[in-house]
Structure 1
Amino acid sequence: MTGAPEPAARRPTRRDQAKAARRAELLEAAARQMAERGFAAVRLEDIGAAVGISGPGMYRHFSSKSELLDELLVDISRRLHDGGAQVVETDGGAAADPAATLRALIRFHIDVLVTKPDLISVQDRDLSSLSPAANHEVRSLQRRYVERWVDVLVRVDGPDGDGQDGAPWRERGQARVRVHAVFGLLNSSPRLPDYPRARLRGLLASMAWAALLAPAEEAR
């Protein structure tokens, strides 16, 4: 005996769509203002004013400024995590062609930086202002995103085809340090001097690749 069929999902009404569009406007305005002034200096009323919503009207969309920050940073963390997973799967997995997959991950990360620089700035500065639940989710997503990169990096051969002994980044602990360092390099891009966007993408990609596969300095 089968159960009753599940009800069809309700199609969004024009009102639903308008509310979603306005919510997206508010999130974009919040990211811009928080990137410029910091979470503590921005009021919910300031965000609403940027898109023509009065202070009381803001509470139809967000109960607090903290809820808004939680949504912003959980969303960008999910975007990076899910997008990184898709890059690896699209390239046939980390073992298929690790070098090509690593380059694809670099390009993906830079694409997010270029299209969402305000969110990257807010994440870099205001992570500590998240609610405990959102902080836990963001850090979990970030750790898994890092490990996705590490899984690929430890399979990349050295420039001469060196394997485990010749490529220092193939040691997992060192690979993790390299990935974190490269994220620091790339995530600083919103604070860089003005530079043509297309050329900036290429420059950042070259720098990230070089940093990930840089020779290890001899111990002294």
Structure 2
Amino acid sequence: MGALTRREQLKAERRKELLQAGARLIAEHGFLGVRLDDLGAAVGISGPAVYRHFASKEALLTELLVGISLRLLAGGERVADEAGTPRIALAALVDFHLDFAVGEPELIRIQDRDLDKVPAGPRRELRRTQRRYVEIWVSVLRELRPDLSEEAARVRAHAAFGLMNSTPHSATSATAARAKPILRAMALAALDSD
């Protein structure tokens, strides 16, 4: 595949701007509280011009949530594969997930509130991807702690996600960085306690 033309580059940049603005607006106002006109105005275009980039508001929401799930899965696989030991892998997974939680809190708020607005087919894909991400954690936990059943490892992983994903609800952007080491220590303790 060749290099993008200038027009294609501009279109890709505008699409990225729309995704960023969409994440911010939907996190602030909820999916139903955002109109295409609001979205367009946020990036300096008309509401109908948004259709050049997304077939619908639901398509934008789907891309936001499926996109982050795919990025988490790919990153989680990379982190686990590159770690030398299960203990290092677990710490690296926690750090990786905290970077996401602190860096993209809008997507957590959107997932919590607006997942049901994603059409059924993409929502199934999203859930499958999320389950695969959880299974990376389960695998690492069971390597570290062979005494844990799959179910117990899965419960621990979900508990750690709940803790780390609480950041958008419990910390402002100014306090999130200070909360990160506390959340890291708590997540690691919850994952690897007796």
Per the normalisation by structure 1, the TM-score is: 0.84
What are the residue-to-residue correspondences of 1:162-173 with 2, within 5 Å?
Answer: 164=147, 170-173=148-151
1:33 counterpart residue number: 25
Output the CA distance in 2 between the equivalents of 1:193 and 1:61: 33
Counterpart CA distance in 1 for 2:92 and 2:22 is: 30
- Residue by residue over 1:162-209, the C-alpha shift from the partner in whole angstroms, topping out at 9 and shown as x without a partner, is x63xxxxx2211110111111111111011133544422211110101
- Out of 32, 35, 45, the residue aligned to residue 53 of structure 1 is 45
Task: Return the match for 1:193 from 171, 175, 179.
Answer: 171
**Partner deviation per Cα, 1:62-90 (whole Å, 9 max, x = no partner):** 12100110110010000100000000111
Which structure is higher in helix share? 2
Equivalent residue for 2:152, pick from 174, 181, 195: 174
Q: Which residue of 74, 83, 87 corresponds with 1:82?
A: 74
Q: Structure 1: which amino acid aligns with 2:40?
A: G
Give secondary structure in 1 for the equivalent of 2:52. Answer: coil
Letter matched to residue 110 of structure 2: V
Following TM superposition, the consecutive aligned residue runs of length 4 or more in structure 1 with deviations greater than 4 angstroms are none
Tell whether 2:181 aligns with 1:211: no
Per the alignment, residue 184 of structure 1 pairs with: 162
The answer on whether the counterparts of 2:26 and 2:110 sit within 8 Å (CA) in structure 1 is yes
5+ long unaligned stretches in structure 1: 1-8, 158-162, 165-169, 216-220
Q: What's the CA shift string for 1:30-61, capped at 9, x where partnerless?
A: 10011111111111111111111112211111
In the other structure, the counterpart of 2:89 is: 101
Q: 1:3 aligns to what?
A: none
- Runs (5+) with no aligned partner, structure 2: none
Q: Secondary structure at the match of 1:214?
A: coil
The within-5 A match list for 1:59-70 is 59-70=51-62
Aligned length: 193
Identical aligned residues as a percent: 51
